[in-house]
Amino acid sequence: MDETTSGTPATPTTGRFAGRTVIVTGAGAGIGRATAERLLAEGARVVGVDLLADRLDDLVARARSDRLVAVAGDLADRPVIDRIVEAAAGRIDGLANVAGIMDGFVPTAELDDDVWDRVLAVNLTAVMRLTRAVLPTMIRAGSGSIVSVSSEAGLRGSAAGTAYTTSKHAVNGFTLSTAFFYAPAGVRCNAVAPGAVSTSIEAPFRSQYAGERLGPYLQTNVPPIATANQLAAAITWLLSDDSANVTGTVLPSDGGWSAI
Ligand SMILES: NC(=O)c1ccc[n+]([C@@H]2O[C@H](COP(=O)([O-])OP(=O)(O)OC[C@H]3O[C@@H](n4cnc5c(N)ncnc54)[C@H](O)[C@@H]3O)[C@@H](O)[C@H]2O)c1
């Protein structure tokens, strides 16, 4: 694969997704973009979704592929979910729920409702709605793979603020429950939990207390920052038949952070 905009070059498996349609949210930047680019390189038809249309325009311009369909919109808006499913045009082999936002590392006592509502709407409710929307197509086909991006913050309490931490723990529970219910239908559901990754995600500290409390842990525990392509490799593995026997797992891709 040629050098992408998302970090070190990925090593695609030729034709692994040929003839398949995969929806990728957050496809305009970071991990979602690397995932969309890798899927295209491996032969998939990709429905790429992002809030920011200019990011999708850039992806489309660089990809130069008639297998890429872009859908611009806010995943927290219900009609956007319908537009994504329509764009898939009746075939959905995979869904990568990658889009997500941070919470300013705000701790519980300093949380305001707007931050809580927005973080849960994007990181959790949108994941549920889009997963719910693709399931009938996958169940009819008797196969499908859903991968949601969780976080190291979904494995511990010391990696983000309270809203983000809550949303990612919930994504893990959503993943396990969905995997349990739909394994008999041939639909797999897994999550990937990244540690720190070099992307465009905004992560300023909006709480002095959080900086003082979290800072020492983040300074000592966090392994070297990963590339978006390293995460795309894990996500595409879980989307592919290479992981056919894997469902209901939360796979850390974190350089060993979760082992600390
Ligand atoms: N970067 C990290 O260190 C890190 C660590 C752990 C987990 N994650 C998770 O990885 C995922 C991807 O993050 P990233 O670092 O690549 O971020 P990013 O900001 O580089 O990319 C995320 C993309 O999602 C889009 N997006 C955000 N809100 C949206 C919405 N409401 N509707 C549609 N699109 C929306 C953004 O416009 C952006 O293009 C997120 O779920 C994030 O929580 C990231």
Give SS3 for 206: coil
Spatial distance between the Cα atoms of 138 and 114, rounded to a whole number of angstroms = 34
| Contacts with 58 (C-beta within 8 Å, 6 or more apart), sequence order | 28
pLDDT at 1 over 60: no
Average of per-residue pLDDT across 53-66: 98
Spatial distance between the Cα atoms of 209 and 108, rounded to a whole number of angstroms = 11
Contact, 101 vs 118, CB < 8 A? Answer: yes
Which atom of ligand 1 is nearest the CA belonging to 34?
16
Which atom of ligand 1 is nearest the CA belonging to 194?
6
Catalytic residue, candidates 148, 150, 240, 258: 150
b or e along 117-136 (b: 16 or more beta carbons within 10 Å of the residue's beta carbon)?
A: eebbbbbbbbbebbbebbbe
Catalytic residue, candidates 151, 168, 243, 258: 168
Architecture of domain 21-251: 3-Layer(aba) Sandwich (3.40)
Catalytic status, residue 6: no
User: Is the shortest distance between the CB of 77 and ligand 1 below 6 Å?
Assistant: no
pLDDT at 248 over 50: yes
pLDDT at 234 over 70: yes
Residues 152-194: pLDDT tens digits?
A: 999 999 999 999 999 999 999 999 999 999 999 999 999 999 9
Contact, 85 vs 133, CB < 8 A? Answer: yes
Give SS3 for 211: helix
Residues 4-21: pLDDT tens digits?
A: 445 555 577 889 999 999
Ligand 1 pocket test, candidate residues 201, 229, 258, most atoms within 8 A of CB: 201
pLDDT, residue 14, reads 84
Q: What percentage of the chain exceeds 90 in pLDDT?
A: 93
Q: CA of 253: how far to CAs of 23, 164, 168, 193, 259, in Å?
A: 21, 18, 15, 6, 11
Q: What is the pTM of this model?
A: 0.96
